[in-house]
Amino acid sequence: MTSMDTEAALDRAERLRAGLVSLAVSVLLLAVKFLGYRWTRSAAVLSDALESIVNVAAALFAVTSLAIATRPADSNHPYGHGKVEFLSSAFEGGLIAFAALLIVYQAGETLLSGSELRALDAGLALMAVAAVGNALLGAYLLRVGRRARSPALEADAQHVLGDVWTTVGVCAGLALVWATGIESIDPLVAALVGLHLAVVGFGLVRQSIGALLDETDPALLRKLADAIAAIEVPGVIAVHRLRAIRVGGAVHVDAHVVVPRFWQVSAGHEVALRFEEEVARRLEREAELEIHIDPCTSAYCAGCSVEPCPVRAHPFVRAPAPTVAELTADPPPS
């Protein structure tokens, strides 16, 4: 096993461990919030507790998807199993949106029927503990998710961090009720929590569907463009038809590389392999490249410094750094 394979295996293990930590902490915080609701009978606290049910369900689904995503590629799944993480992210977004509807409905009922709040000081203390716990969990998941390139963990982290602000809002609402005695503030805060969660949930669904449909990733293409601009492989005249997608923690790239047309096939193949190695070295640990070799035409002469060249039609001028638009475009006409 190479060092790159070892690091990739460690990343997969860390992703799964983070998912299990998220599940355990989510269950604990769910218990804390329902205890807070039992003490206070607050609609706002109930709304936060309902969201925590979503946290637990999403964490359980995320652990399952991470266990599947860590499986290596096989004959039935030659590109691996990483896309299941996008399914996890979409599922979590759908759960959040559903919870938002329940919260808004419950807030409306409470606003119409009224409520009898109690033990607000103890409820505030419990919700503060829950907010701190979610903040620590969210920061941990975000760090691991970004380092391991895990969409499921990043989605879980964004949800958990969003839950922190939800809990802070609930605490602020309880404090206002405690200070003013106006109990109608409580369901209004719950309704605001629900609307916020609806935005977060639909945003996660939209992002996940885009990833499942292989939507263009501008940040990844910019990183590739910077990597290609920094590479110095003699014989690589230009790159075009560049495409790239993320699948779980891996990156799949395919591109056309232009080499001198008077070279032998073996020479062009060797240059393409060196180009693949250099690009992969500058990307994430799990990177797979498919390079197609194209022969040069006279349209490339002004940007080609290969010498001696028996087929040069125009003098070399300069080789500017390629842009994303140039790298992803079709080759220029001959």
The span from the CA of 84 to the CA of 70, in Å, is 10
Last residue of a domain, one of 193, 212, 231: 212
DSSP string, 229-271: HH---TT--EEEEEEEEEETTEEEEEEEEEE-TTS-HHHHHHH
DSSP 75: S
Residue 115 pLDDT: 67
* CATH code for the domain of 238: 3.30.70.1350
133 or 63, which is more confident: 133
- Give the pTM: 0.63
Helix (H) or strand (E) holding 159: helix 151-180
Average pLDDT of every residue of the chain: 81
* CATH code for the domain of 165: 1.20.1510.10
> For 33-49, how does the pLDDT look when each residue is reduced to its tens digit (9 = 90+)?
888 888 888 877 877 78
Tell me the CA distances in angstroms from 198 to 87, 88, 98, 152, 245, one per residue in order: 18, 17, 8, 19, 28
Residue 2 pLDDT: 46
Has residue 333 been placed in a domain?
no
* Helices 84-113, 43-69: crossing angle, 10 deg rounding: 170
56 or 241, which is more confident: 241
Helix (H) or strand (E) holding 326: helix 324-328
124 or 274, which is more confident: 274
Last residue of a domain, one of 171, 186, 212: 212
Residue 243 and residue 112 share a domain = no
Cα–chain center distance at 210: 11
Classify 2 as helix, strand or coil: coil
Strand order through the sheet with 238-247: 238-247, 250-259, 286-295
- 257 Ramachandran zone, left/alpha/beta (phi>0; psi -120 to 50): beta
The span from the CA of 28 to the CA of 173, in Å, is 23
Answer yes or no: are the C-beta atoms of 90 and 204 closer than 8 Å: yes
Which residues, including other chains, have CB under 8 Å from residue 279's CB and lie 6 or more apart? 224, 227, 228, 231, 253, 287, 289
Answer yes or no: are the C-beta atoms of 52 and 116 closer than 8 Å: no
Its domain, for residue 94, covers 3-212
Residue 115 and residue 51 share a domain = yes
For residue 301 the two structure tokens come to 């002469």
Q: How many CA atoms lie within 13 A of 176 on its CB side?
A: 15
Has residue 334 been placed in a domain?
no
Q: Reply yes or no on whether the pLDDT at 1 is more than 50.
A: no
